[in-house]
Amino acid sequence: MTASTTGDDATTGRPVVPNLEAILGREYPVLDHGFIRVVDYMGDDAAVVQAARVSYGAGTRRVREDRGLIRYLMRHRHTTPFEMCSIKFHVKLPIFVARQWIRHRTASVNEYSARYSVLDREFYLPAPEDLAVQSKSNAQGREESVLPDVADEIRRLLEQDARQAYSRYEWLLNEQPDGSPADPDRPGLARELARINLPLSTYTQWYWKVNLHNLLHFLQLRADPHAQTEIRVYAEAMLGIVRRWVPVVAEAFEDYRLGAAELSGPMQAVVRAWLAGEPVDREASGLGIREWRELHALVGRELPDT
């Protein structure tokens, strides 16, 4: 919809989304010191529909038909119309989360530079319930939580190391908040070098601008239960923002991406055999052991004794 903007009675001809306008600039806390906030956006549900129909103006289509088209586009992976919408976030996050996040290369990123500025004394400290042992079956995952007394000791060590590293960072910089040297008799090390010993738990910040298609791809991977907890909480916060921004697209995304599963050709053949009441042998099916287990879990079928 088109509406007036606030401030000096300015008006705009671009689509605005009142539910998103209401939270522009608002910080949503994530983790212990992080946040995410919307800086700006372009487009709405109608923009996706417009792009798909290659037409300008609202036209005479009913909302129900627009919803059907968006769901069709999502279902059949017609992605270009979703690229017509964009959003810009300001994110504060631990460096190790940022290094995962940056793997999503289809966005514009401008990160706080520790070559030019001094990083804050803020570190991510996992909650006790998030401290877990290494998974035996997944090199990238966790299993059960560590015992409470072990968790307390781990948190103590993590905090101690982070604080010590930052104190040495300050010593290397030899710089007071006003920029003057803390010790006039000693030159400070260049900022680009002083930063190199800081831990990955140190917080950084960036502006992240992305189109809706690539944002949804990010959310499909990072809002998944198998994603690392520390990046998943950011994705979940962003998904809530997407629901406010493009609710019809968000509904289709959750139905056809987050709440859906993709079956390989051999998997489909096994399901057809099950529906026909035919016995299926795993080795004859062509499925590997992991894929075989995943299929049984997906359809709620008990694994046969092997």
Instruction: Find the CATH number of the domain harbouring 64.
Output: 3.30.1360.170
Contact criterion met (CB below 8 Å) for 154 and 131: yes
Distance CA 242, CA 20 (A): 9
pLDDT confidence bin for 62, thresholds 50/70/90: low
Higher pLDDT, 183 or 10: 183
Which of these three, 161, 176, 200, is where a domain ends?
A: 200
| Predicted pLDDT at 60 | 46
Structural domain contains residue 294:
yes
What the block records as the tokens of 181 is 């040297």
Write down the residue that tokens 């056809």 correspond to.
256
Do residues 241 and 189 share a domain? no
On the question of pLDDT at 57 being above 80, the answer is: no
Distance CA 285, CA 270 (A): 7
What the block records as the tokens of 299 is 């359809």
Structural domain contains residue 187:
yes
Do residues 7 and 93 share a domain? yes
On the question of pLDDT at 223 being above 50, the answer is: yes
Which of these three, 173, 200, 227, is where a domain ends?
A: 200
243 in catalytic set: no
Do residues 84 and 208 share a domain? yes
Distance CA 228, CA 198 (A): 22
On the question of pLDDT at 161 being above 70, the answer is: yes
One-letter amino acid at 125 equals L
- Mean pLDDT (the chain, rounded): 91
Number of domains, the chain: 3
| Predicted pLDDT at 306 | 58
Query: Angle 194-197-201 (CA atoms, 0-180°, nearest 5)?
Result: 120
On the question of pLDDT at 139 being above 60, the answer is: yes
Which residue among 222, 232, 257, 282 is the active-site one?
222
Do residues 233 and 107 share a domain? yes
Structural domain contains residue 304:
no
Higher pLDDT, 243 or 1: 243
Share of the chain above pLDDT 90, in %: 79
Contact criterion met (CB below 8 Å) for 158 and 152: no
Tell me phi and psi for residue 210, to 5 degrees: -150, 150
Containing structural domain, residue 293:
265-299
Structural domain contains residue 279:
yes
Q: State the virtual CA torsion across 270, 272, 277, 278 in degrees, nearest 10.
A: -50
Do residues 98 and 239 share a domain? yes
Do residues 68 and 79 share a domain? yes
Do residues 39 and 140 share a domain? no
| Predicted pLDDT at 145 | 85
pLDDT confidence bin for 198, thresholds 50/70/90: very high
Do residues 184 and 215 share a domain? no
Do residues 226 and 111 share a domain? yes
The pTM for the full model equals 0.88
Do residues 138 and 228 share a domain? no
One-letter amino acid at 41 equals Y
Query: Angle 40-44-46 (CA atoms, 0-180°, nearest 5)?
Result: 160
Do residues 111 and 216 share a domain? yes
Structural domain contains residue 306:
no
Structural domain contains residue 82:
yes
Question: In angstroms, what CA-CA distances link 170 with 108, 162, 263?
Answer: 31, 12, 54
Least confidently predicted of 80-84, 98-102, 220-224, 282-286: 282-286
Do residues 16 and 99 share a domain? yes
